[in-house]
Amino acid sequence: MKKLPYYLLLVLAFSQVQAQKDFQGMAVYESKTQTPKFDGMRAGNRDITPEMQKSIEERMKQMLEKTFVLNFNKSASIYKEEEKLETPGQQGGGMRMMMSSMMGGGGTFYKDVKSKTYTVDKEFMGKEFLVKDSLPRLNWKLEQETKQIGGYNCYKATVVKEASQTDFRNFRPKNNDDKKDDAKKSSGDTKTNFEDSFEIPKEIIVTAWYTPEIPINQGPENYWGLPGLILEVNDGTTTILCSKIVLNAKEKADIKAPSKGKEISQKEYDETVVKKMKEFREMNRGRAGGPPMMGR
């Protein structure tokens, strides 16, 4: 077998390096969250009727079903909600933006797995924020269980992580004993107010499925750190599932961090949101109408 000339070896080596450098992909994710049940509750000082319950749950379902696009290369990615035209009758823009921000939407989520940092631009209550912080350390437990997603062989991984107190998707219904205690304290009957029927746990168990066939440690939202692209995530109430993958398309996405908004840490942003949530809760207490932060 003849040896290749030295200059050809250099060309091949350069081509391989360039191919790795130019590697890019796009993944589409469908996000769905279980709709909370509002039966047996009060909205302000009124019982939630079956008609109100149906209307609220339908609006919640629309807001809790989203499509996101992840553009990625070897070291960085941008994750953004796919823009959709609003249909007539949807709630006001400001309230919708606030709820979207609290349900995993709003802005461009940029992850740099090389520097282990992220940047996301968010609009909240009419103000623009640029949240910059370190990526969360996720101590994944790699499992042997496998399944196929879109033709890719995937492996299971689990992690216990702290639940964000500003993400509406983390709300869980209280158990019956807790509801009864709250009802006795508040009104003496079996009805409870909306805000007294749900709680946010301190920790949640997350199950992810990743494929080593796309060997990058990226994934949707702030999930990362597995030996392959994450194609599915489930945290008990929300499922994010990849529905489409395109690798090395001719048109390349511009993968760079957003830069617009007041720079702030994740902790500072969370404190701002929690403060506003408390203000809305106090404002809605004792008022007739829909549950807090739902709008009309």
Question: Cα(254)–Cα(252) distance, rounded to whole angstroms?
Answer: 7
Domain residue limits, the chain? 25-284
User: 6, exposed or middle or buried, with CB in 10 Å at 0-12, 13-18, 19+?
Assistant: exposed
Name the DSSP letter for residue 169: G
Q: What is the pLDDT of residue 285?
A: 61
Q: What is the pLDDT of residue 289?
A: 46
Instruction: Report mean pLDDT in 10-residue bins for the chain, 296 residues.
Output: 46 40 90 72 60 70 86 96 64 49 68 96 88 96 96 97 80 59 50 62 93 96 96 94 95 93 93 84 59 42
- For CA atoms 94, 99, 105, 111, the dihedral sign is positive
Q: What is the pLDDT of residue 101?
A: 52
Q: What is the pLDDT of residue 92?
A: 45
Pair 273, 122: CB distance under 8 Å: no
Q: pTM of the full predicted structure?
A: 0.75
